[in-house]
Amino acid sequence: MNGELFEDYVPEVVEYDPEVDGSDEHKIRDAHLNTKADLLEKIRRAKAAAKGNKTTFRQNIRTENEN
């Protein structure tokens, strides 16, 4: 059965059409990923600058057994 299924198959030659196939989509995706990475870095730096050298101190957690 395996040989009979594709016995009369003739491959079709397909032409590449940039309008139909979208020639610049990979460039658009790369631009979006680069923009996202830049914005994430900018936000990270802004958060670090806003925090500055502040150290947050937490009180000890009280338990039921403390006096």
For 20-61, how does the pLDDT look when each residue is reduced to its tens digit (9 = 90+)? Answer: 776 777 678 888 999 999 999 999 988 888 877 666 667 777
State the pLDDT at residue 62. Answer: 73
What is the pLDDT at residue 63?
Answer: 74
| pTM of full prediction above 0.85 | no
Residue that wins the pLDDT comparison between 27 and 13: 13
Q: For residue 66, give both structure tokens.
A: 């403390």
> What is the 3-state secondary structure of 20-64?
HHCCCHHHHHHHHHHHHHHHHHHHHHHHHHHHCCCCCCCCCCCCC
End-to-end CA distance of the chain: 85
